[in-house]
Structure 1
Amino acid sequence: MVKKPSGWLWLLSLQVPLLVLVFSGALETSTGSATSSISAGRPLAGDSTLVSHGGVFELGFFSPGKTGRFYAGIWYTKVSRRTPVWVANRAAPLRSAAASELSISGDGNLVLLDEAKQPVWSTNATSISSNSTVAELLNTGNLILRDGLDSGNVFWQSFDHPTDSWLPGGKLGMNKLTGEVQRLVSWKNSEDPAPGIFSLEIDPSASSSQYFILWNSSHEFWSSGAWNGRIFSNVPEMVPGYIYDFAFVSGEEETYFTYNTTLSSDVISRFVVDISGQIKQLTWIAGAGEWMQFWSQPRPQCDVYRLCGPFGICSEKTMPHCACAMGFEKASPVDWELGDLTSGCARRTPLKCGGEDRFYTMPNVRLPAEPAAATARSAEECESACLGNCSCTGYSYDGGCSLWYDALFDLQQLPDSIRGGGTLHLRLAVLEFPSPASGKKATVEIAVGTSAGAVAVVALALAMVWRWRQRKFRGLRLVEGSLVVFRYSELKRVTGNFSDKLGGGGFGSVYRGTMGDSTEVAVKKLEGLRQGEKEFRSEVCTIGTIQHVNLVRLRGFCSHRSRRLLVYDYMPGGSLDRALFRGQAAPPVGWKTRYQIILGTARGLAYLHERCRDCIIHCDIKPENILLDGEFIPKVADFGMAKLVGREFSRVLTTVRGTRGYLAPEWMSGEAITAKADVYSFGMMLFEIISGRRNSEEKGEEKYAFFPAWAAKKLLSGELLGLVDPRMEEEADMEDLTRVLRVAFWCAQEDETLRPSMGHIIQILERAIDVEFPPIPRYLQLLWENPDAVEFSSTGVSSVQFSDVLAGGFSSSSQSTSHASSAANLRSFPSGDPSR
């Protein structure tokens, strides 16, 4: 087949509001023709490419960024942001692609030759038994070297030699006979595919079925936990069949883990060891134009071992997460700019030793590991012990003396809301501290005494400035009916320099603040935002005009250069997830209150969907984004991912937004969405409000529990009280409980046209109309056809052959029931446009 590389740069001009770009760094490549295979006498050279028969993957030469270094690699043909998934010569770059080539050598191997025709990389297969080998790129992204006369005779494949990416169908494990290991190794930085410092591999001892993330191939800082037959014990969010199917195989010859996606073949998925030290599962949604991160580990970025290098300080509250300690500067600013922070920080001023150094106090930090103990009866003696050794770089005293020598690693500044850290005294050269007051004090006093008039004038001026600043600060008050445009410096002052963090998510962190008129607010700092200032202001002003009792009020915003902040009313009741899932840490919420929360949330969403000038799709409905005021009145919050849809359009194409477990199935197949995507999320949230627990969970030795399936069975049998949160002191109304459960299942339909609008839902909850039992979604219908697949109990699912049940669950190509029977069940709904 012949193909010219697509012109993908035009996509960068599209306006996609509030996107998170998971993979950064544009990659340069040249244009040329494509071939179907590489064989003897027919090399791949210059700007030619090899394209898989299905057109999913492409092999050729590329240059990351503007480095001038070239590599032979495989990337996605249909992904607009060039994303390599495999690199042949990652540690041996070429100086030019024009004269380089991939060709079949005389011994049948595939070799990469530089401009001088010298080999820089080879498949090095030793079992070649054919004189006519062919290199072929499969539609899975696997490059194979096979017998040209027998396609089933494969001598070598790239899936056995992954780089940083693990594609569906690939294996990650080890060959027990040869000792060969399939591991993932991160890029060095965003523009250098050379092997980096982080890797993922199976337990090399083969004594357990678990995987480790390693630093420098030596230090393990994250483990998947052992395979229990369904999932890895430390990854309870694995949901077999929901988006991916998993398989762990351990035999006499090899042990490996593999996965495949259950989504449409148009959906592209990859697993990567990122330069940040995290492993990430990413999915490219066709037509949406962006990568979506579904999962990452370790979740806290600061849990990555030595992420910030020597004398670097990690903080979950800032972006980037790493900064240099007092008295230090970036050891390699260029590496930091490219995402490689592991070089850490270097001293600005060398230590003098000999007792001339001083200590800088750092409170509430995670202390470095492996301190040396010293005998000291006081903090002063501990300090002296450190000063007495020129290699000592810090100490901590908490009833005992701990000393650290040479470079310090894994320092983390803990937020004020989290206690439990220690106080580190960091050794610095005396020149890093401000010089003390000198004998100039007396001269100043004389000057002041003889210049009383001048001082009075200065004092008067200062008083006027102070009064002006106080009046300005008091002027920072919220004005009803209008948005306030804040300066960044004003919001820093309002929040005490962002010191009181309330929480955070994928699009930013939220801080508590107090205005000049004592009004409390919540200030959200958006992170990873690529929207232009004009578009940001326009969309914020549209949302800011919305006023409804069940929507959190947007009071103002700040948009200056790269800074984007939103100011909301502060909600003293916290978020709904806190009330539902935090056990004894929060007082139980009664049934009547929960019902009012459900109804209020529905009213807020209906206003967004049906009453605004433009239909607003929230895109991330979940308990974390439902806030409660002092009277437990719900407020739909966090419009950071909201999408405006003009009334002249019924649906909109947008990147996948929201949270796993609440995403509507049409999003997963890359289809344009309607407000019915919010309806689906609302339905999944109803199950959690009723039960007081997450929809899917694993507790102790119990198997995976999927609450909606259990609730469907209970609803059919009429055993409803067992579904209700046992912490509730009051008894639930059976009629209302039945009503809410039926609404939940209508909302959770795979076919969006079968879901009611939020206006219909309000009528049902207000008891204006009745609702019939909904059709069973396909993934639940499979349960009824396989009654032995799941056993339900009061504690969840006790035995599972669950992956088979959910494997075909969210399939856009099949419906749960016929439209005719579904329409019959919808007869109690008012007529109208189903998309509204």
Structure 2
Amino acid sequence: MLLLLLFALSVPSSQAWSFDYPSPIANLPSLWSNNNATIPYSATYTSGLTTRAILVRQNPAGYGPSFACGFICTAPCDTFLFAVFSVFIGENTNNPALNASATPRVIWTANRRRPVKENASLQINRDGDLVLRDFDGSLVWSTTTSGSTVVGMNLAQTGNLILFDMVGKTVWESFEHPDDTLLIGQSLRQGKRLTSASANWTQGQFYLTVLDHGLHAFVDGDPPQFYYQKRFNVTDAMAHSNMNISSSDEAKDSMVYISFLQGSLTAFASFNNTDIKLFDMSLPWRSSAQLMSLEDDGHLRVYGWDGISWEPLADVLDVQPDECAYPTVCGEYGICSQGYCSCPSRNSGDELFRHLDDRQPNLGCSPAIPLSCDLIQYQQLLPLADVTYFNFAYNWTTHEESCKEACLKACTCKAVFFRYQNDTYGSCYLMPKIFSFMHYKPEKIGYNLSAYIKVQMLPPPSASKDLGATAYHVGVPVLVAFIGVLILIIKRIISKKMQEDDPFKGIPGMPTRFSYKQLREATNNFSKKLGQGGFGPVYEGKLGNVKIAVKCLRDMGHGKEEFMAEVITIGSVHHINLVRLIGYCSDKLHRLLVYEHMCNGSLDKWIFSKSQSDSLSWASRYKIIIDIAKGLAYLHEECRQKIVHLDIKPGNILLDENFNAKISDFGLAKLIDRDQSHVMTKVRGTRGYLAPEWLTSTITEKADIYSFGVVVLEIVSRRKILDSSQPEGSTNLINLLQEKIKVGQVLDIVENQDEDMQLHGAEMIEVIKLAIWCLQRECSKRPAMSQVVKVLEGAMDAERTAGSETTSRDYIFNASSPLTPVQVSAR
């Protein structure tokens, strides 16, 4: 049985590794917590990567990588993966430069989809499973050993993490659950996937899988699309091997797999305990240490160990016809031609698409005017000459015009391909998602293909129609021609001027840009005012049959930054509990935002209303609290960057016709990269809703959670956080709550007590407890919004989840708990 090697010394990148051999078995039950106190065997590299190793397997040959398993993170180490990773152990590790170049490489991980925090735990429990839980005790990942008798965990010399029983038999192994990498001797079995990982270790969009008829590589989508296939015929292979099979149906019972062997990638079919070789793909062989990794560009690459690091040796997949057949080689909307990337265009020279980055054309392109389902009648199909795609899954046979018309009518269609079968009919494929296109030479593909990409046009101003009608009635051809040329010149000048003034030019995924004249007509000259926001009034309008709300930013000197923040932030995210931004207007004189219309207005008019007819039932208020929590959870935890709203209050929560709540007004929002723990910013927000940490200007998403706690108290109590009309001593809702907690009369904070409160008093108390958890002075003690959602939906208990901070009901209502808000007047 192979020994378990444990780190015996905490080693920074500039120090040597040191090991001893305390025990061959991690006795059951074994428990490790992700912190430096309980796992002191850590190493930090100059690249910013940190490892906390539980087991280490040193290469006994003295050459090649060693392997370790444990927790691993990148600076600032907010989140961790439990992983197997390669490490370098050698005689010259006192050399800091050598350590820096030998940064560990993640080989396998259990929780790529859900990284854990500090103080997460790993345990071999008494059921024989290896279990990973986050700091709050929530289950993140577990093996399934089906109750087998597991006595320990071993990390093999091959890099295979193993759970074994009393006789040394493997019960579970990481080799049977591949991630993005295959090691020598590891197999990818039928139905399993090798899934790519991005540079920040999150799950990528490519996967490699073995099906019963071949090896396939897919780019994930709806549906997934394959870009590589290596077909094999199991029946023929069995026949050539002289196996006695009575029919092809028996061949279907075989299990197909590929194995990464020394110098080859080999496919086998296993039938009646016999392995039949299906194909053998030769690979370059320079060392005994190699790995194969599916990477975030769709390539399957072989790496060899050069003594201190992994170096790429070759691509495994022979993608036809060339490099341009990889789905993301030129990014979305990009056209690949002999390794060069360009954007779609038309002969007139109009810039319909722009590179995301002119210096990096391989990042892709974005439409000059983003597609909008609300303006589908102003969409056109731009023909693309000599352009094809890496994969087609044609839907039906029809005429080309019918195919194009179907795409124009379907909001989800972004491009359409039509392949002629004869002079009249052909195969039609509507594309809901666009990866990279390929340029081709028509004489080489052997068939006729038409390609069209959908582009968004702006609605024509009505004035131009009147001018055209006038010109028609004049009936003077010269005048018509002159006016037409003049209009064209003016439009080009205006268009160019507007583009120069557009702060969002070149930013992908932006909503529709409108002219000021279009919005003035849509709002009937701004005649119907819906309300007054922090930076200007909001008016009702109509685009076609669609109601809209148009916010006008009056103070341009103060509002430009907020305007840009709002468009960039909400324009790039979509969630049922976020108000949808339809478009915007930006020129030297006017900045306007166009939102979906929310007919029931803002939350504050419903919860603070003195009228009984305008009050909301407890069920409605509870649903609104859940909606707000879900919207914030999406912003904080599900977007590419964390989005911190920084102005959560009832006035920024809007209600639709069914009283579904949606978060609005992102003018103060800040974006935080996933590798950032906080941002420094000036005080922004609204008095009464500001978290205590605003005194230091060091802000995380926990500032929103504090504001959410305030809003929850306001919704439950139906009174404002700061209300000068209240009697002395009751003007501050949080101070009042603390006093009521002391005397055990928590529900006394509720205004307009009625039968609804009597029926749901216990539920209100539970929600107040949750609000107090959100209002802790120390931001680290506040819950994540995903935890809040689980508590509200009954999937998690707040007292248990909060751990030592809320271990009892009495503690939650402890008046000494610091709940004082920051008294800063921001606006």
Is the shorter-chain TM-score for this pair beyond 0.5, marking a shared fold? no
Greater relative contact order structure (CA < 8 Å, 6+ sep): 1
What's the TM-score once normalised by structure 1's chain length?
Answer: 0.35
What's the TM-score once normalised by structure 2's chain length?
Answer: 0.35
